[in-house]
Amino acid sequence: MPSPKQYKGTAGESMAARFLEEKGYVILERNYRFMKAEVDLIAFLPAADYERGGDLVFVEVKWRQNAAFALPESAVDAAKRRNLIMAAEAFLHERKMEGTPCRFDVVAIVGSGSTLEIVHLESAFVA
């Protein structure tokens, strides 16, 4: 049985996935794991210019009930970024997609219920 923290994490990831899908993203995978590293969502954003293809996006989701202490995105520190990059490299290698242009986004969720706010930080950091 999932812990309350795991349940909240799954709920946050589902909200973020719906939010991204409404923006035109296609969710390719959820909770991709490599060793101890995990990527919450892996998505594809088709380009308006069909010939360009689109962007492969590795997404970290962070949710805080309130931002009085710190914004959710502040939890994506240097160690977390290293783990995300390691997992992304493994994903690309496993699928023989090395060299594919990609980026790292953060979806920050603050609040609950009717006070929920979702912020999408595109290209939140560079590998």
Tell me what pLDDT residue 79 has.
92
List residues bridging with 108 in a β-sheet.
Answer: 62, 119
Residues 69-123 pLDDT 10s? 777 787 888 999 999 999 999 999 999 998 888 999 999 999 887 788 999 999 9
DSSP secondary-structure letter at 52? Answer: G
pTM: 0.90
Residue 50 pLDDT level (bands cut at 50, 70, 90): low
Q: Which residue has the higher pLDDT, 46 or 107?
A: 107
CATH topology of domain 4-125: Trna Endonuclease; Chain: A, domain 1 (3.40.1350)
CB neighbours of 47 closer than 8 A, spacing ≥ 6? 53, 54, 55
